[in-house]
Structure 1
Amino acid sequence: MGEFSLTHILLLAILGLIFFGPSRLPQLGQGLGKAIRGFKQGLNEIDVDPKDIQDHKQVNHTSQQATQSQKQTETQNS
């Protein structure tokens, strides 16, 4: 279960021909190929450097401290 056999692939091909017709299938395949290619290129463009992650954590920590300080100031002024 969960595996594609030759029967499954043939059934999908026949259903594709019935629903989309022989003239439309190449266009659908081309669109799917472009979408997959674009997705892979997007994944390859993501460049995460451990130093960038550490910098982000430091900025986030500083931001949290500033928020807490602001809340304390507002409480004292009320």
Structure 2
Amino acid sequence: MVIDPGAIQDQMVKIRDILSFELPGPDHPLIVVAGHIHIDHMYLGLTDRRLWGMARIIIAAEDWGADQLESGDLYWT
């Protein structure tokens, strides 16, 4: 399943609703692939606590983007 977590709260509510039927429990892995790290694509995927409580979230990003996400860089993300 491909998800663009985005930065729109209503969109994240829909994503959580769909995932609540698809994920067997909080120990199940959910891989969120960061096609790129702009905040309009990744913000809620990184900050939505309810999403993070639904599964064991794994963020997959290319090396440079992962560094920016880990450091909380506000310019690039």
Same fold (TM over 0.5): no
Q: Which has the higher helix share?
A: 1
Q: Which TM-score band (shorter chain)?
A: 0.3 to 0.5
- What TM-score does the superposition give when structure 1 sets the normalisation length? 0.32
Which structure has the larger Rg over C-alpha atoms?
1
Q: Which has the higher strand share?
A: 2
